[in-house]
Amino acid sequence: MTFKSQAVTLHPIGRVEREEGGRGLSPENLSARPARILLDPSLTDGLMGLETGSDIVVLYHLHLSTGYELHVHPRGDPDRPLRGVFATRSPRRPNPIGMTTARIRRIEGNVLEVVGLDALDGSPVLDVKPHSSFFDSPYTG
Amino acid sequence: MTFKSQAVTLHPIGRVEREEGGRGLSPENLSARPARILLDPSLTDGLMGLETGSDIVVLYHLHLSTGYELHVHPRGDPDRPLRGVFATRSPRRPNPIGMTTARIRRIEGNVLEVVGLDALDGSPVLDVKPHSSFFDSPYTG
């Protein structure tokens, strides 16, 4: 099986801006601080139907992440037992895509003001989707 | 702003296999049928800590999706009012990444048997993350 030969190329649709850079803050602390998503202005029409209070899933490139190991200490804490990288939310992973559900506080043109987003300043945004209890909650069949 | 110039290249970590191809089934019907994720065998150690019953978020390439429009009829139903693509889960989007929370029924080596996954047969898998109520539920901060 040579999955790795079929590369997938994505083009960011925007980027995250926030006052503090964000490095060194826990995901909880970073999420609590407001951030902005600046969408490529040519894509602004794609926001129709989103509004203040909408819950969105933001996919973004963990652009400062470098390399990965298959076994990691959760949160980089050596006191936590090693786990497989796919059993953690470590930013250092084979495909460094971050994913967080955030809430829209305000939309102005191509700019989304959000809270609940743990992406660092400058993170390239790959997708915005509406949060869906069907797709995004544990499957109950 | 020229976000589009900074491409992000990802390498699939595995692929989805299922008995039926899946085209033409609704996401609900497709999710209800079991599927397998075949992980690249070199990454198997990254599964440590996942087990039967674990809820995972699967990111995958919507590999049969071609192009997009900024305004879409949800579920392709012309009776539903147009919405912005970022306010829908349409597979036809600027970066065709699918995302679903699935449940592990069984793990054997590099193969995850799951239910709740709406990916078509052959979909390249980009990431597997543990579902997290903090990151993946509506933000209540």
Q: What is the ipTM of this complex?
A: 0.95
pLDDT of residue A5: 60
Q: Which of the two residues, A16 and B27, has the higher pLDDT score?
A: A16
Overall fold of domain A14-65+98-130: Elongation Factor Tu (Ef-tu); domain 3 (2.40.30)
CA-based radius of gyration for chain A: 16
Q: Check whether A1 has a pLDDT greater than 60.
A: no
Residues on chain A touching B4 (C-beta within 8 angstroms): 11-12, 40
Considering CB atoms only, which of A32, A48, A124 is closest to B141? A32
Residues on chain B touching A135 (C-beta within 8 angstroms): 27, 89, 99-101, 118
Could you tell me how many helices (H) and strands (E) chain A has, helices first? 2, 9
Specify the 3-state DSSP secondary structure of B129.
Answer: strand
Residue spans per domain, chain A: 14-65+98-130
Q: Check whether B115 has a pLDDT greater than 80.
A: yes
Per-residue pLDDT, averaged over B107-136, amounts to 97
**Residue among B61, B52, B55, B49 nearest B14 (CA):** B61
Looking at CA atoms only, how far is residue A82 from chain B in angstroms? Answer: 9
CA pair distance B75, B63, nearest whole angstrom: 18
Q: Which residues pair with A9 in a beta bridge?
A: B9
pLDDT of residue B23: 84
**A74 touching B, CB under 8 A?**
no
pLDDT of residue A76: 85
Per-residue pLDDT, averaged over A17-25, amounts to 85
A48, A64, A73: best mutation site toward chain B, by most B Cβ within 10 Å?
A48
Residue keyed to tokens 């926001």: A47
Conformation bin of residue A29: beta by default, left when phi > 0, alpha when psi is -120 to 50: alpha
Residues on chain A touching B137 (C-beta within 8 angstroms): 101, 136-137
List b or e across B24-48, with b for residues whose CB sees 16 or more CB atoms inside 10 angstroms. eeebeebbeeebbbbbbeebbebbb
**Global pTM value:** 0.95
CA pair distance A48, A50, nearest whole angstrom: 6
Question: Could you tell me what percent of chain B has a pLDDT over 70?
Answer: 96
